[in-house]
Amino acid sequence: MIDEKLQEAFNDQINKEFYSEYLYLAMKVYFQELNLQGFVNWFDVQVQEEHAHAMGMVNYLNDRGGKIDLRAIEKPVVEGNTPLEVFEHVLRHEEYVTSRINHVMDVAEEVKDRAAMHLLDWYIKEQVEEEASVGGVLATLRLIGDDKKALLMLDKDLAARTFTAPVIG
């Protein structure tokens, strides 16, 4: 059995991962309205990744004999009126998710659950990649400024991103 405090931390994080999926779906819709299909694709991949992250924790908690507590998902709010501002929101969100995964790791360390720490190590490494990916797009958007042709070139580049199901753990 998994420690109750750690189980609670995982359930809280599962909710945050599903919220991330929902938030990125809202951002995908935002870019659909702008007809920027490469950005739509980028967020479609994010939606799938966040779902996989949540399910990885659901499956882990189930494997450990824990109780899964699916909670209401807050309505997502897309902050920003430009692609740059939306990606600034994405980076803030990913940094928040990183802090929350670090919190779950803190609880795992506190209760000395090495199996959970091993799993969470994967999530921590994944967050480094997530923040770097978002940071790369953000840096390009800052360089682009108001150049619509450059924005369309970035859009074309983002269309090439594909989803690869992660091997969690």
Q: Which of 70, 68, 67, 66 is nearest to 19 (CA)?
A: 70
Residue 166 lies in a domain: no
pLDDT of residue 1: 87
Helices (H), the chain: 4-33, 37-63, 83-110, 114-144, 148-158
Question: Could you report the per-residue pLDDT of 95-134, keeping only the tens digit for each?
Answer: 999 999 999 999 999 999 999 999 999 999 999 999 999 9
Question: Could you report the per-residue pLDDT of 75-93, keeping only the tens digit for each?
Answer: 999 999 999 999 999 999 9
- The model's pTM is 0.96
Residue 163 lies in a domain: no
| Phi-psi group of 163: left, alpha or beta (phi > 0 → left; psi -120 to 50 → alpha; rest → beta) | beta
Residue 168 lies in a domain: no
Q: How far apart are the first and last CA of the chain?
A: 18
Residue 90 lies in a domain: yes
Exposure string for 88-113, b = 16+ CB within 10 A, e = fewer:
bbbbebbeebbebbeebbebbeeeeb
Please compute the mean of the pLDDT values over residues 18-44 and round it to a whole number: 98
CATH number at residue 121: 1.20.1260.10
Torsion of CA 167, 40, 157, 56, to 10 degrees: -10
The rounded percent of the chain whose pLDDT value lies above 90 is: 99
Residue 169 has pLDDT above 90, yes or no: no
Residue 59 lies in a domain: yes
Please give the Cα distance from 169 to 32 (Å, whole number). 34
Question: Could you report the per-residue pLDDT of 34-67, keeping only the tens digit for each?
Answer: 999 999 999 999 999 999 999 999 999 999 999 9
Residue 165 lies in a domain: no
Residue 164 lies in a domain: no
Per the structure, how many domains does the chain have?
1
Could you tell me how far CA 18 lies from the centroid of its own chain? Answer: 9
Please compute the mean of the pLDDT values over residues 132-156 and round it to a whole number: 98
What range defines the domain where residue 54 resides? 4-158
Dihedral sign from CA coordinates of 146, 43, 133, 130: positive
Please give the Cα distance from 167 to 13 (Å, whole number). 18
pLDDT of residue 53: 98
Residue 140 lies in a domain: yes
